[in-house]
Structure 1
Amino acid sequence: MADQDTIIVLSTDAIAAREREAAVREFYGRICMRLDLAPLERGELRLSASTTILPGVSVAHGQVAPMAWERTAALQQDANDDLVVSWIAGGWRFDTARHEAVETSPGAPCIMPMDRSWRARAQNGDWTICARFARSTLTPLLRHVGDLRPDAINPGTPEARLLLAYVEAVAGGAIGPGLAPLAAQHIADLFAAAVGANREVDQVVAGRGVRTARMHAIKRYIEENLHRARLSAETAGRGLGLSPRYIRRLFAEEGQGFSDYVMQRRLERVHRQLASPLFSARPIADLAFEAGLVEPSTFYRQFRSRYGMTPSEVRAGRAP
């Protein structure tokens, strides 16, 4: 995701009729959204949308003709693991192999994870709004991002209503570079509250201070730099303009060392990839190396200590 404020506007009315469907499918669908688009009931692929890209979050609003959005196994080869929450006038029908089909009420939110296959259909797109999160934006706030059900947000709660209103406000106008990080953080906080985050996160959302904001920035930096074997409090400090001592103290206050947290996130990343068929052809050593685990003996020892089994056993499907 982009790290600067950007607005992308698209309207199919601006595309010649003979080129419209191909352009929408390829550019807006496969390139921008990383989805396959198809009209319903032999209709046309018509839409207008404005997308605002913030640090770690993008928000969009617009109108669409009746259509289907599909995240296919082929498209998942991009390894994108963003999380999308989307509202649409007529409600969604959301089909996935992991859950029974979910039908949301008109205007209710639906959570759509980009790291698995699904198909979403909407008959009425007189208006639609969505927010898309980089996984690293939500990880410090939610412990089990990948376990959220499509209908995890109750649209009748104050948190859900505030989330929708805030996303709509941000999507409706330009956000300057100075406000972009703050707006992105607020959207992530509201999403965490709307899905019923734990008490610690509720406290963060209710009263985010400088210390908490800095800790969130540090954890985001870690997520974005896990592949760097030399990732340390010193390198994070240089990247964020903070002292290594201060960074270590923040982690100590949470009861965990900086290096321990980095190792935890690296092992969790490799474990997630080993359990996914998308990475079944990749050598285990390569996955570990790309997560910054360059010493094989250390990786295997730490992995078995954490999960009680070897990486090969997890890949074979014997994970608990």
Structure 2
Amino acid sequence: MLQLEFDTEDLPAAERFAHLRDLMSSVPVPYDVSSDHADGFRFRKRDLLLDSLRVCDMAMQPVVLNRTRQLIRQSDPQIYNILLLQNGTVARTWRRNEVTYSPHDLHIFDPSQPCESRAHSTQGMIRCIGVVIPKKLLPLPGSGTERLLGRRLQGQEGVGGLLAGFLTQLTTNPRSYLPSDGLRLSSVLLDLTSALIAHALEADDILVPESRQRGLVLRIRNFVQQNLHDPRLTPGAIATAHHISTSYLHRLFQRDGTQVAAWIRERRLERARRDLTDPALAVVPIAEIAARWGFIHAAAFSRAFRAAYGTTPRDHRHRALDPRHEQDPVYP
């Protein structure tokens, strides 16, 4: 689990804000930064890289972050951000929406959309934990995305409390985790995030009948994630488990531009790819790992893996586990 740290305290006070502006304009998700506290600006950030995910523990003085259309055209890596606010307030404006978040609030936002965030605090620095998740890994239903993005989600109880507690514990003492824990922690984080999304949509079901279909899609996707190991996980089996027809299942996924079988295969390949890079599983045969994720035939698994990632399972494992191959950090 790779850790990267940045702290303006390491720079001369007169250079801090200019350095931060330069940094924030050149990262994969660039922002324009301004502040009334530019002189001697204080900002610290620690990144934990968990496989394809990134968790950011941040503290800063009051600041305004602006994600403009020009910056989006400059770089749009297709990610979602999740933010847990711990101290201070954040007022976010996007499209015709404006929401102010308070401590213990969670929310999901899409940096592919122009937005402005105004972070403020009257007592100490603004503190928050951010999560960066590639869109392809987060099962947000296309038809329900607008209802979820920017929505204030409870981070003190229920499923939101579980996610908030996990993020807080993870960032409180990250040095207590082993490098190989990153793969396992990323799976836990994805599962908790998916559970929070499903919970939010199911709560909508009680109030808004039109959202029931979105809740069904989320339940199906979570069912698939929990049963990827079963080679009998077919569209027909999924439809039967949810008391719908197979044709209706296909229509549900097609509305989001997805094919059921292809989506299942992608999720299985992702899980197998993670296991192949886990040092704790280094002696487990590749065919056994493939079988763990529903691939009965080793040759078919190798062909699918190469088609998806441009390399064989064996070569992928070798590069990931051989200490002579440096792994450059990836910033989604």
TM over 0.5: yes
Moved more, 12-21 or 37-46: 37-46
1:12-34 alpha-carbon deviations (Å, 9 max, x no partner): 11011232112111124542652
Q: What residue number does 1:50 align with?
A: 46
1:250-296 alpha-carbon deviations (Å, 9 max, x no partner): xxxxxxxx9xxx9xxxxxxxxxxxxxxxxxxxxxxxxxxxxxxxxxx
Contact 2:28/2:77 (8 A) holds in 1 = no
Q: What residue number does 2:259 align with?
A: none
Query: Alignment partner for residue 26 of structure 1, among 22, 28, 32?
Result: 22
Contact 1:93/1:102 (8 A) holds in 2 = yes
Go from structure 1 to structure 2 and tell me whether the alpha carbon gap of 1:28 and 1:93 turns closer, same or farther (over 3 Å shift): same
Q: What residue number does 1:218 align with?
A: 269
Unaligned runs of 5+ in 2: 200-217, 234-263, 274-285, 298-303, 309-332
Go from structure 1 to structure 2 and tell me whether the alpha carbon gap of 1:118 and 1:143 turns closer, same or farther (over 3 Å shift): same
1:97-142 alpha-carbon deviations (Å, 9 max, x no partner): 1x4211123331232212111011111244211111111221xx33
Aligned equivalents of 1:41, 1:181: Cα separation in 2: 39
Q: What residue number does 1:177 align with?
A: 179
Query: Alignment partner for residue 9 of structure 1, among 2, 5, 17?
Result: 5
Asked whether 1:151 is paired with 2:181, we answer no
Go from structure 1 to structure 2 and tell me whether the alpha carbon gap of 1:248 and 1:21 turns closer, same or farther (over 3 Å shift): same
1:45-84 equivalence runs, <5 A? 45-77=41-73, 78-84=75-81
User: What is the number of equivalent residue pairs in this alignment?
Assistant: 227
Residue type of the partner of 1:87?
L
Go from structure 1 to structure 2 and tell me whether the alpha carbon gap of 1:204 and 1:221 turns closer, same or farther (over 3 Å shift): closer
* 1:45 match: secondary structure: coil
Aligned equivalents of 1:74, 1:248: Cα separation in 2: 48
Go from structure 1 to structure 2 and tell me whether the alpha carbon gap of 1:165 and 1:246 turns closer, same or farther (over 3 Å shift): closer
Q: What residue number does 2:92 align with?
A: 94
Go from structure 1 to structure 2 and tell me whether the alpha carbon gap of 1:183 and 1:133 turns closer, same or farther (over 3 Å shift): same
Aligned equivalents of 1:40, 1:121: Cα separation in 2: 11
Go from structure 1 to structure 2 and tell me whether the alpha carbon gap of 1:80 and 1:221 turns closer, same or farther (over 3 Å shift): farther
Asked whether 1:186 is paired with 2:234, we answer no
Residue type of the partner of 1:184?
S
Go from structure 1 to structure 2 and tell me whether the alpha carbon gap of 1:193 and 1:241 turns closer, same or farther (over 3 Å shift): closer
Unaligned runs of 5+ in 1: 223-237, 250-257, 263-320
Aligned equivalents of 1:13, 1:33: Cα separation in 2: 23
Q: What residue number does 2:219 align with?
A: 199
Aligned equivalents of 2:271, 2:135: Cα separation in 1: 10
* 2:153 match: secondary structure: coil
Aligned equivalents of 2:167, 2:113: Cα separation in 1: 24
Go from structure 1 to structure 2 and tell me whether the alpha carbon gap of 1:67 and 1:48 turns closer, same or farther (over 3 Å shift): same
Aligned equivalents of 1:201, 1:157: Cα separation in 2: 24
Q: What residue number does 1:118 align with?
A: 115
Q: CA RMSD in A?
A: 3.5
Contact 1:193/1:201 (8 A) holds in 2 = no
Aligned equivalents of 1:152, 1:104: Cα separation in 2: 7
Percent identical across equivalent pairs? 15
Contact 1:82/1:134 (8 A) holds in 2 = yes
Aligned equivalents of 1:217, 1:15: Cα separation in 2: 45
Residue type of the partner of 2:115?
W
Q: What residue number does 1:104 align with?
A: 101
Contact 1:36/1:70 (8 A) holds in 2 = yes
Residue type of the partner of 1:59?
V
Aligned equivalents of 2:84, 2:34: Cα separation in 1: 18
Aligned equivalents of 1:46, 1:121: Cα separation in 2: 16
Residue type of the partner of 2:133?
F
Contact 1:157/1:194 (8 A) holds in 2 = no
* 2:267 match: secondary structure: helix
Q: What residue number does 1:134 align with?
A: 134
Asked whether 1:242 is paired with 2:290, we answer yes
